[in-house]
Amino acid sequence: MLINNINYRTVWMQDTSVYMINQQLLPHKFEIYRSENYIETANAIKTMIIRGAPAIGAAGAYGLAQGALQFEGENFDDFKKHIGEAYEALDSARPTANDLNYALNFVKSKMISLNIADSKMRAFELAREYADWSAEVCRQIGEHGNKLIKNNQNILTHCNAGALACVDFGTALSPVRMAHYSKKNVFVYVDETRPRNQGSSLTAWELAQEKIPHSIIADNAAGHFMKNGKIDFAIVGADRIAMNGDVANKIGTYEKAVLAKENSIPFYVAAPLSTFDINSKTGDDIPIEERSEDEVLYISGIDEHNKIKKIRIAPAESTAKNPAFDVTPTRYITRIITEKGVIKPIKEEIERFVKINISK
């Protein structure tokens, strides 16, 4: 992604350290966070220093490589136990996004088929292979999605499914980027996306860096703009997709999908095939992460002294409920944009495409 006219990836590895753009500080401060071991990488995923399903998948892959590289010993059973402990620490950091588990299995399955020396030698290579694959997948999603976007269209997004949520390009923002690069005139309505404000903090920041025209809107304003004909196209990412086409994504996605259907606006989901969970028959099988109530009760911002501060916006006596995701039923989804093409959100077509992905 382009940041201050320099190309960055969201996450990468050098020696035994994992580096990632610290998303807790954006848009007010651009800083690279360094994780020195898999425990710190798992914590970075858990605390949302890095977030977004493909991004945490790549971070998990690098974290497992850290676990292998930092193992000391010669007993293979001890090595497998150590890798298993690293796997569990990373996999449990965020329970809803399927890409994390997918990435960990990709690296682990290849490492434990080797001896200790070869595993350590190939650990970084395997993790980088996954990250490179993930970036290319997102580029392909952009190419397929761009074909759906017409010139002079207004596009609604929710949360952040841009390059920051991936290794590069993004999922939902990848078609928008490609449309912009191909000289189409597009305008993006950016949902602020409470409670963590990933839309106003991250999506808007990415669009500003790329000089893509946009405006931030309050979450509650999306229906107003839809009803008044200001939005032509809605696109979101996904954290996990069930085999019937139900989609788990950032809380509030379901509301936007219902509003889009009511106003005859196409509602697209952009996600790699790795986001499909073959063990989830429907959205009812997807675990929904409940995050800290502080995300609702407090808000962070920059003060007049250019310092980032966290302040309480709710009564001291109040508590909060904070589900991080909701599930959008397949009947509200127009199509799912994947690296293999644009598919209908129906069981038969999903099974055909996911089997292609598994076989390759």
Domains of the chain: 2-139 (1.20.120.420), 142-359 (3.40.50.10470)
Q: Which of 53, 3, 8, 61 is nearest to 27 (CA)?
A: 3
Pairing of strands 214-217, 247-250: unpaired
- Helix 116-146 × helix 173-181 angle, to 10°: 60
Residues 6 or more apart from 29 whose CB is under 8 A from it? 22, 308
* pLDDT at site 357: 66
- Could you read off the pLDDT tens digit of each residue along the chain, which spans 360 residues? 888 888 999 999 999 999 999 999 999 999 999 999 999 999 999 999 999 999 999 999 999 999 999 999 889 999 999 999 999 999 999 888 789 999 999 999 988 888 889 888 899 999 999 999 999 999 999 999 999 999 999 999 999 999 999 999 999 999 999 999 999 999 999 999 999 999 999 999 999 999 999 999 999 999 999 999 999 999 999 999 999 999 999 999 999 999 999 999 999 999 999 999 999 999 999 999 999 999 999 998 888 888 889 999 999 999 999 999 999 999 999 999 999 999 999 999 999 999 766 554
Residue 99 appears among annotated catalytic residues: no
Q: Which of 79, 14, 24 is nearest to 49 (CA)?
A: 24
* pLDDT at site 359: 52
Q: Which is the catalytic residue, given 239, 246, 277, 326?
A: 239
Q: Residue 284 and residue 12: Cα distance in Å, rounded? A: 34
* pLDDT at site 221: 98
